[in-house]
A and B are shown apart, each in its own frame.
Chain A
Amino acid sequence: MRFGGLTAIDELSFAAPVRQITSIIGPNGAGKTTLFNCITGFYRPSAGSIVLAHPVRGSLRLETLESHRVAREAQVLRTFQNTRLFPKMTVLENMIVAQHNALQAASFFSLAGLFKLRRYRLAEKQALEQAMSWLQRLKLLEFANIAAGVLPYGTQRRVEIGRAMCADPVLLCLDEPAAGLNPRESAELNDLLLELSRESGISVLLIEHDMNVVMKISDHIVVLNYGRKIAEGAPLLVRKDPHVVKAYLGEEDFQEQRA
């Protein structure tokens, strides 16, 4: 991925296996968010391809799809580094909007909805149940009817994850979900992510700065620096990799450490 003269991601290749948590780590400006933007169709990579093995639709070339089709057809959902909720809408409405496509199809160009036909009422009831179950699971029930924008930051992050889950993802991309959470919230998030990948069968791509979190829950880690992959592997291996230590601690610290 190039922006003018700047090559933000270069010669990166990795695989995110099903039902696993793959973490992307690297210093600020390494190109992690840019990578997510490429995967979810917000940027079109200047070269290369991104393939998703969809359980039903077979292999999909994500880089050829527009962003809304990546979410709808490939079921790749994401959260944003700076949360992007619908602030004036309630938490519940946020969850329902995430199920827009299913509901829209059931409403048959809004006609079935306007006349409150049975098929639309059923679909709406289902959507509501789906939303409520995620709210319950994320301990957000008490906020259901509150405007999302007034909630504390950590709660907003949970809402954003819940919203993505309501859209029924195959691959869930989380951009620094633990940023700004307190230790307890962060621990709860870890449990949730593990649960999702193990039980719900969702693949998770996670950008994370907190090494404790990364080491604890990742199955697989990809380390980026200046848009290049400098290491990849299981947490324990990556932690010891000299390139990684160097990129994270800086040249001098690294030499001190070795000495």
Chain B
Amino acid sequence: MRAIFPRQALSIAERLRDAGWIAFVALVLGVPMIGLTTVDAGNKLVVHTRLPLLMEFVAACFLGRLALRFSLDKFAQRKIERQAQEARRTVQIPARSTLPLIKWLGWWLLGAALVLPLMFSGNRYVVDTATTVLIYVMLGWGLNVVVGLAGLLDLGYVAFYAVGAYAYALLSTQFGWGFWQSLPVAGGLAAFFGLALGWPTLRLRGDYLAIVTLGFGEIIRIILVNWTELSGGPNGIASIPRPSFFGLPFQAPSDDGVQTFAGFFGLEYSPGQRVIFLYYLILLLALLTNLFVTRMRRLPVGRAWEAIREDEIACKALGINVVTVKLSAFALGAMLGGLAGVFFAARQGFISPESFVFSESATILAIVVLGGMGSQLGVVLASLVLVLLPEIGRDFAEYRMLLFGMAMILIMVWRPGGLLVRREPAIMAPAPMQARP
């Protein structure tokens, strides 16, 4: 910041000199790389010069540098002004409850989520993509407990997702358990794995914790690849039963007398019915997750999570047992990841270790960070961005990931704290006691 500040006042001559230097460097580099080229002349290589191209390159660097420097300085200047303004303002403004706009946006999104399958009932692709978004929303809300609230950087979150998915896959294929029966068991198992990860890493923070959790995620994946008897190894587990609607399966009517969903409600069977059912199922799970986490945040544990993120030593000095608070964050975050995993397995019908690679952890973490650590609605917006951008980008074929990366960088430049930075207090002073300005 300080290094850039004086440059705002650069004179035109100084700017030209700055750009001149860059052009010079471009020239030095450009001579061998652009200025000279080899041409295959019959049976030998001849060196040709490409002076016009070299000059174009140097000129582009010169002008580009001028523009870049100018816009960066303007940007920095505006930022400094804004900060000064904010510093003058912060103390007077009490942190209000959620901005009405944000609250409104949340309800609007919920409404849109509820009616989406009805509006696109014929369009399987839309409902499928929306289901994927919701899985990430749920994972983001779960990881938000660990990273956003408790401030514990977890790069191996996908491990718990995998534990949940494999737990359901095994329970259902080996023991014939149903979706709803498996859900609590798989959640509990994932929570147990959360404790297993949390316990040895209690003393670690920041980068060190990130590395250990990263390793943990890989360990789980590698176990799944190699323990063929249990997990089916790289082949994964197939024919996982799909969830049924209160015991009514979604399948074409058959002659063996099994009552199906379509049959029971007297509907024409269509495969889209299951897609829509799965969508509402994950919507329900995600909303329950949201309700749970929002409630927890307003309870003593939730406030202790945030307090630990803010200052662990102060927590100890206030008599808070940091060990149990951290473990509860790990366990609950893991449990929510596990529940999402159960849904994932039930939706796909087939799982293999390939679905639980590190890049999944990175995506979920990106959702939390991009959304604005700790913000529930931010997670939704970030999931929309992160799932929809690559989908929209399909038209751009091989430039897809490039565009995706650029969008991410732009968002972080534009909003370094995430899409929604504002933090809502977990408890507010009762109105009559609040002092008036």
Contacts and interface: CB of A to CB of B under 8 A. Distances in A.
A41 B321 CA distance: 13
Which of A89, A152, A167 is the most central at the interface, judged by chain B CB atoms within 10 Å of its CB? A89
A132 B427 CA distance: 12
Nearest to B96: A145
Interface residues of B, number: 39
Given A146-B95, A147-B95, A151-B91, A93 B425 contact: yes
B313 A100 contact: no
Contacts of A89: 303, 306-307, 310, 425-426
A107 B300 contact: yes
A113 interface: yes
B304 interface: yes
Given A107-B299, A114-B299, A97 B317 contact: no
B301 interface: yes
Contact of A163 (B295, B318, B434): B318
B425 A90 contact: yes
A112 to B, nearest CB: 9
A153 B366 CA distance: 35
A101 B320 contact: yes
A213 interface: no
Interface in A67-94: 67-72, 77-78, 80, 84-90, 92-93
B311 A110 contact: no
Contact of B303 (A100, A101, A147): A100
Interface string A123-142: 00000100010011000011
Q: Using C-beta atoms within 8 Å of the partner chain, give the interface range for chain A.
A: 35 or more
Contacts of B292: 114
A150 B316 contact: no
Nearest to A105: B300
A152 B320 CA distance: 26
A71, A77, A103, A145 — most chain B CB neighbours (10 Å): A145
B319 interface: yes
A100 B427 contact: no
B307 A67 contact: no
A197 interface: no
A30 interface: no
A85 B311 contact: yes
A93 B305 CA distance: 12
A42 interface: yes
Given A68-B321, A86-B307, A96-B303, A128 B427 contact: yes
Contact of B300 (A41, A103, A163): A103
Contacts of B426: 89, 93
A104 to B, nearest CB: 4
A144 interface: yes
A234 B425 CA distance: 46
Nearest to A73: B319
Contacts of A230: none
B322 A68 contact: yes
A204 B140 CA distance: 46
Nearest to A132: B433
Interface in B385-437: 423, 425-430, 433-435, 437
Contacts of A84: 311, 313-314, 317
A225 interface: no
Interface in A23-43: 40-42
B127 to A, nearest CB: 32
Contact of A150 (B91, B296, B301, B317): B91
B296 A145 contact: no
A145 B91 contact: no
A231 interface: no
B94 interface: yes
A77 B94 CA distance: 28
A247 interface: no
Contacts of B425: 89-90, 92-93, 145
A100 B319 contact: yes
A98 B437 CA distance: 27
B254 to A, nearest CB: 43
Contacts of A66: 316
Given A93-B425, A96-B303, A146 B91 contact: yes
B90 interface: yes
B95 A42 contact: no
Interface in B88-123: 90-91, 93-96
B314 A100 contact: no
B427 A71 contact: no
Contacts of A147: 95, 423
Contact of B319 (A68, A143, A150, A152): A68
Given A84-B313, A141-B434, A113 B300 contact: yes
Contact of A167 (B301, B303, B307, B318): B318
A85 B306 CA distance: 12
Given A88-B423, A100-B318, A144 B310 contact: no
16 contacts: A42-B313, A70-B319, A71-B317, A78-B317, A85-B311, A88-B423, A89-B310, A100-B303, A101-B320, A104-B301, A110-B301, A141-B433, A142-B435, A144-B94, A144-B435, A146-B94
Interface of A: 40-42, 66-72, 77-78, 80, 84-90, 92-93, 96-98, 100-101, 103-104, 107, 110, 113-114, 128, 132, 135-136, 141-147, 150-152, 163-164, 167
- The 3 tightest CB contacts between A and B, nearest first, are A71-B319, A72-B319, A86-B310
